[in-house]
Chains A and B, each alone.
Chain A
Amino acid sequence: MLEPLWGWPPPVLDPAGPYAEKVTVLAWALFAMGLLVTGVVIVALWVAIKGPPWIKSKLGGEKVVWIGGVAFPAVVLTILLVWGLTLTASLTQGITGKETRIRVTGEMWWFRVQYLGPNGEVILNDANEIHLPVGEPVVLELRSADVIHSFWVPHLSGKKDMIPGRKLFLRVQADKAGRYGGVCAEYCGGPHALMGFVAVAHERAAWEGWLAERHAAQAAAPAGPAMPGRRIFLESGCGACHRVAGTEANGLIGPDLTHVGSRLTLGAGILPNNHGTLMGWIGDSQSIKPGNRMPSYSMLPAEKLDAIADWLGRQK
């Protein structure tokens, strides 16, 4: 089953890291302000219409406009503005360059994820899943391969757009290990509604282990070298778009499938990952996520789908 990683309780009010948390405090304060002012206006309206004459006569002059329409908002807005600007400044602190750096590229309609080494070199290719160590800021380098997308993990921080021709940076930090849902927040055409991903926060040691495991898998031959699924995968031309390290499949158009078996989701955060969904996605991804860039391989007979899914499922 697909874990509902956002929804109730509202992640904006249920932060999992310091950046989101600061905004949560602000959000509650803004609510309070909103309720208060709405209340003041409704009460003033009520009194203006139904109140006794002595209050009405006090309300019915320009003095009220100066107090209610100028002085009061000016004070409230100034306080808010100072708070907002201070917070903005603290949330956009400079990047030291020592943080873990992950490049996330928005593509129609999935997220390419690349883990960067100390010199900015790509050390691991992945898709639709971002693994971070807990308790430290991680710098995401946001790019776009086609149109404008927007990267948003509401539990961790506000959103930032992914803009063609630009490289934007977003710091995120999770203080609790766990899984957090993310979405593309900028309309990017077609199945924009079905473009998500998962952020997974691990304790530092577990995160390093996770990374090392993947490095080992990259170096070793792919799982099940003799399985028929591998042959069928390559014969069906899947390698034109997908890469599986250690095979001739080295396409760069679609998500890297070297570790597809260990992913939490398929189809960019929208399907649970298991044998059946793998088969269903390969066989007819268009009926699940209409308009996505992967054609439906409906010509593949059942046995071949089964074999491919079986083999892919082992690519952990």
Chain B
Amino acid sequence: MPMRDRSKLPLRPVAPVWAMMAGLALLSACKQPPASRIDADAAAAARGLSAMETVGCGACHEIPGLDWPKGRTAPSLVGFDDIGPIAGQLANTPANLAAFVRNAPAAKPGSLMPAMPLSESEARDVAAYLYRIDDD
């Protein structure tokens, strides 16, 4: 259970450290995220954040823009714009991400993340928000 195990470490890398490391990496490599990600619709992203608040994603994830709760059961989403494949397996596309946040076990069998009560459009909004996270 690699995801849960992280929460058992006594000292977890703290969000700002991650952000800083990501920032340093960017400075050195000048890597730009794919255009499709940052161009996500701002209104959709705002709806996505409020949907995440409503269904309580924060109970397990630390999510930039969500003050509380900041759960530690699942990976932090700080620096999400810089991650590779979703959950380590799925190609990092908006459609895949939307499907994953809505019903993770269906998108990736064996996932520890439960399905969330999000409509398809809400899931797209959530994905839009996640892609707009910019901690650099």
**Residue B53 at the A interface, CB < 8 A?**
yes
- Residue contact A280 to B105, C-beta cutoff 8 Å: no
**Residue B87 at the A interface, CB < 8 A?**
no
**Residue B121 at the A interface, CB < 8 A?**
no
- Residue contact A278 to B56, C-beta cutoff 8 Å: yes
- Residue contact B114 to A284, C-beta cutoff 8 Å: no
- Residue contact A276 to B111, C-beta cutoff 8 Å: no
Interface size class of A (residues with CB under 8 A): 20 to 34
- Residue contact B71 to A302, C-beta cutoff 8 Å: no
Interface string of A250-293 (1 = CB under 8 A from B): 00000000000000000000111011111111011001100000
Q: What residues of chain B lie closer than 8 Å to A301, measured between beta carbons?
A: 112
Q: If A284-B72, A298-B73 touch, does A276 touch B55 (CB 8 Å cutoff)?
A: yes
- Residue contact A275 to B112, C-beta cutoff 8 Å: no
- Residue contact B116 to A302, C-beta cutoff 8 Å: no
**Residue B93 at the A interface, CB < 8 A?**
no
A278 to B104 alpha-carbon distance, docked (Å): 17
- Residue contact B73 to A277, C-beta cutoff 8 Å: no
Residue of A nearest to B112 (CB): A302
A61 to B60 alpha-carbon distance, docked (Å): 69
Instruction: Choose among B56, B71, B72, B116 the residue that contacts A272 (Cβ–Cβ < 8 A).
Output: B56
**Residue B115 at the A interface, CB < 8 A?**
yes
Instruction: Choose among B104, B105, B116 the residue that contacts A276 (Cβ–Cβ < 8 A).
Output: B116
Q: If A1-B53, A274-B55, A283-B73 touch, does A303 touch B105 (CB 8 Å cutoff)?
A: yes
Q: What residues of chain A lie closer than 8 Å to B16, measured between beta carbons?
A: none
- Residue contact A305 to B55, C-beta cutoff 8 Å: no
- The CB with the most chain A CB atoms within 10 A, among B56, B68, B105, is that of B56
Interface string of A173-192 (1 = CB under 8 A from B): 00000000000000000000
Q: What residues of chain B lie closer than 8 Å to A287, measured between beta carbons?
A: 7, 71-73
Q: What residues of chain B lie closer than 8 Å to A309, measured between beta carbons?
A: 114
Which of B43-76 touch A at CB < 8 Å? 53-60, 68-69, 71-73
B88 to chain A, nearest CB (A): 16
- Residue contact B112 to A272, C-beta cutoff 8 Å: no
Q: If A275-B116, A302-B105, A303-B114 touch, does A288 touch B4 (CB 8 Å cutoff)?
A: no
A-B contact pairs, 30 of them (CB 8 A): A1-B53, A270-B69, A271-B69, A274-B55, A275-B56, A276-B55, A276-B57, A277-B58, A277-B69, A278-B56, A278-B59, A279-B60, A280-B59, A280-B60, A280-B71, A283-B60, A284-B4, A284-B7, A284-B72, A284-B73, A287-B7, A287-B72, A287-B73, A296-B73, A301-B112, A302-B111, A302-B113, A303-B114, A305-B114, A306-B115
Q: What 5 new A-B contacts, CB under 8 Å, besides A274-B55, A306-B115?
A: A279-B59, A284-B73, A287-B71, A301-B112, A309-B114
A residues whose Cβ falls under 8 Å from a Cβ of B: 1-2, 270-272, 274-281, 283-284, 287-288, 296, 298, 301-303, 305-306, 309
B residues whose Cβ falls under 8 Å from a Cβ of A: 1, 4, 7, 53-60, 68-69, 71-73, 104-105, 111-117
